Amino acid sequence: MKYISTRGQAPALGFEDVMLAGLASDGGLYIPESLPHFSAEEVSQLVELDYPDLAVEIMRPFVADFLEEEKLQVIVHDTYKVFRHKAVAPLTQLDTNEWVMELFHGPTLAFKDFALQLLGRLLDEALERRGEKAVILGATSGDTGSAAIEGCRACEHVDIFIMHPHKRVSEVQRRQMTTVLADNVHNIAVEGTFDDCQALVKASFADQSFLKGERRLVAVNSINWARIMAQVVYYFHAALSLGAPEKEVSFSVPTGNFGDIFAGYIARKMGLPIKQLIVATNRNDILHRFFADNSYAKEQLAPTLSPSMDIMVSSNFERLLFDVHDRDGQQLAAVMKAFDETGSISVDEARWQAVKQLFTSNRSSDEEVVSTIKQVSDECSGYLLDPHTAIGVKAARVCHSDKSVPIVTLATAHPVKFPESVVRAGLSEPELPLWLADLHERPELYTVLSDDKAEVHRFIQEKLGL
């Protein structure tokens, strides 16, 4: 399988090179030239598989030029044996045909573990073969950082630098990053927003001269195709559990960067019978405004109770726009250039209407988040949602168009990571799991830096001895 850039000017690459490159050389995002497709009969044959074996079947076509199946089996089983629920991604029923899929049973209590536990192992395999060392440079609005650190802390060939917006992530999110005191782990608190952190990452990838040719930069943000690939699996897992391929399933996805819901879009294109994809946003609603009004436009970022979604620009949305524009890289490059210059784009009416056949969207305020947490707790014997999942549940209840079709909300994080929302709902503060009970007593290590590329690069050089 070859991967091409959304902007059409970068060379097509195999999986290993795409994983190591992250962003394409023309500024685009890599995407498979063509997707594997499962017939209804082939989907039905997946029903009896446990999660790791299902993951092998779904991901095998994407990595066939990189890993033999036996090696893939080992890596995937190692990845998911660290999850603390036998089902890996269990489904919990809220109401008739309404479910949440709990994606928070990994080591950092967030859905990012599904991809980043895997990515760390894949990176180490690739770098070992090449005899190289790499620098992971990432930006996080909360969960990506801790999941990336946890996935890469034991990697022999990687140093990892994670930037988070200073005082704009929850305390549990911060501590899950900054209490990992491994020699190859470096946390940077940037005096700015997540989008500032993301801009620093993109600028660093565009000019890697500060590494003096001794290391390569690797991306762990959701622009890395390996992350999308891993997330496709749990859509298959949920749909199979609820009757696919005989029955359709819909999904509501809390999303800021569009990566998690784009994985659902890919699953549908691979043959999974998905009826509806609901984009659930907070007040930072660039995605909702596109699907509601055909306006993809930057606005001032506002802090919310769901900080992992406090994002002004959704990086992975470019991958959908590529398909919307007939997979024409030249055309898409012109669209993205217009967005960079004006901060606002819309698409042709017919293309927008076609997208809306699958996607709908909803926006929730902080007040609605708190209300939804309380409502679900009252209805479901004290079952707790984190604020991001509450946004997904709210959107599911507003937008679910066919009540005969099961709706699954992706529960993206454990509520203990965001206790403020639970307390504001008038409920008792959730307790950390026993294996994390001492998190608030563990020593922290991080460095506060200004939103300045040169300062960040000097810090990295110093830590690497360059």
Task: Tell which residue, 405, 31, 59, has the closest CA to residue 252.
Answer: 405
The answer to whether the beta carbons of residues 148 and 38 sit under 8 Å apart is no
Tokens of 153: 């802390």
Tokens of 203: 């600028």
DSSP 3-state assignment of 101? Answer: strand
DSSP 190-235: EES-HHHHHHHHHHHHH--GGGTTS-EEE--STTSHHHHHHHHHHH
Task: Tell which residue, 6, 458, 4, 3, has the closest CA to residue 258.
Answer: 6
DSSP 320-355: HHHHHTTT-HHHHHHHHHHHHHHSEE---HHHHHHH
Quote the CA–CA distance of 459 and 205 in Å, as a whole number: 16
Residue 434: DSSP 8-state: G
Quote the CA–CA distance of 427 and 435 in Å, as a whole number: 23
DSSP β-ladder status, 296-297 and 344-345: antiparallel
The answer to whether the beta carbons of residues 150 and 175 sit under 8 Å apart is no
**Catalytically active residues, by annotation:** 112
Tokens of 133: 């060392």
